Amino acid sequence: MGKLSDLFSITDEQAMWRVQAQDDHAAFARLVQRWELPILRLCERMTGDQGEDLKQETFARAFLKRKEFRGGCKFSTWLWRIALNLCYDELRKRQRRGENCGGPESEDGIDLPESASPELAPDLQVAAREECEVVRCALLRLPLTLQTALGLRYCEGLKVREIAEILEIPETTAGSRIAAGLEQISRILGPQLDAIQERKEHKIRTANDV
């Protein structure tokens, strides 16, 4: 059924052409619907609490700049670029204000909630959330070029070729950035993930004892 509906639905580029030629709001709404979540994920991952605002700004900017979209590249490539540029702007602003990634990092890198429930399931949920925050923060500690390449590859699931196109760099450079990013983030994440794992196991043991 999914395939059948795909067959009859218009492509992103066709929808964008309608938006360009006729200011077709319905076509634009369809594009927003399709790309809302991936763009939100990217913005949230890169900026945290500003994700929702940046997502909206991305689509507002895409609509304002609709005449600038050229058929030479995919709509998604163009949209990723807009979102990335907005995230870069936001990060630059934060850098000027001297803010860090804003994650819940304490001295040992993890900040446990003080009112942790003794029940197992919520604990695991908290741990999972912490883990996500730790990973996000580790990603944010990488140089921006590596962070972007790594995020697009593994968080957004894009191919190396697509990343090269979005960032307007050779495919080999994109590959090198992803490899370098993996190397660096693994060094940061390794000890932190180990610590989380240890805590998780400790909690399970305590819960079992009780």
Partner 1 sequence: MNHPKNEEWLRYIDGEVPAEERKQLFGHLQTCPDCADRVDAWRRSIGKLQGLSVMKRKEAAAPRKRAFQFGAGLKWSLAASILILIGFVVGRFSMPDEQALEAKVAARVREDARQQLRTDLMVALSPEAITQDSFQKQLRADLEKTSLVTAGGASWKQEVLDTVQTQRDQDRQQLLGLINHLRDLQVADSLALRQDLETAVLTADRDLRQNSSRINQLASTISATR
In the complex, the residues that contact partner 1 under the rule CB under 8 A are 23, 25, 41, 44-45, 48-53, 56-57, 60, 63-64, 104, 125, 128-129, 131-133, 135-136, 139, 150-151, 154-157, 160, 172, 175-176, 178-180, 182-183, 185-187, 189-190, 193
Are 153 and 42 in contact, with CB atoms under 8 Å apart?
no
> Hey, what amino acid is at 52?
E
Report, in Å, the least distance between residue 122 CB and partner 1.
12
Closer by beta carbon to partner 1, 23 or else 119: 23
Matching residue, tokens 């590959």: 175
DSSP state of 150: H
Report, in Å, the least distance between residue 8 CB and partner 1.
28
Report, in Å, the least distance between residue 74 CB and partner 1.
20
Hey, what are 189's tokens? 């994440």
Q: Where are the beta strands (DSSP E) in the chain?
A: none
Closer by beta carbon to partner 1, 13 or else 57: 57
Closer by beta carbon to partner 1, 92 or else 159: 159
C-beta neighbour count of 32 within 10 angstroms = 16
Hey, what are 201's tokens? 């196991």
Closer by beta carbon to partner 1, 108 or else 183: 183
**CA 34 centroid distance within chain:** 16
Report, in Å, the least distance between residue 119 CB and partner 1.
17
